[in-house]
Structure 1
Amino acid sequence: MNKAELVSKMAALSGLTKANAEKALNAFMEAVTEALKKDDKVTLVGFGTFMVTKRAARKGRNPRTGQEIKIPARKVVKFKPGSNLEAAVGKKK
């Protein structure tokens, strides 16, 4: 599902217009982005949690040359699904 399909589905489920559903989705994405930039967690009970974790520096290899390279430490975004989401996805059809 891409963004346009998600906006259409949100509009259909909520009774909003597609324009308003897109504004709501954009606002949600902006709010989550701002929170994660501040190293905050965003928890949606039953759905899941967005969080920032730190990945340590490590050594890697250039696959083309085999030369060892240093990969710097960085922050990465992770998502941990909530129990309701896991239950909904894990159900057998």
Structure 2
Amino acid sequence: MLETEGFAVRTFRSATALLNAGDMPSADCYVIDYKMLDINGIQLAGRLRKFDRDVPVILITGYPDKNISTRAAAAGVKDVVLKPLLLDENLVKCIRRAVQDRRGR
């Protein structure tokens, strides 16, 4: 879906795979799931922002929980997008806005 919108996408099978990828891959934006096998998306967002304080992180979740949104905001997550994501224009808009904001700095 994101490739058809013109984004270059790189995927990792787990948070650990991303964190152990050698040099931390640079990105204009990270889109991560809240629920993963090794750590949750909020924990991963915190670790990613240690490498690059300004990198925007968008969290995807199937759990519309205010506690998740509050913790995500405290971890520096730019947006929380709810699943399902079938042809979700909201996700694309969030990514575009995050990338534009980052490049505008």
TM-score, structure 1 length as denominator?
Answer: 0.28
Structure ID, larger Rg = 1
Bigger relative contact order, structure 1 or 2, given CA contacts below 8 A and separation 6+? 2
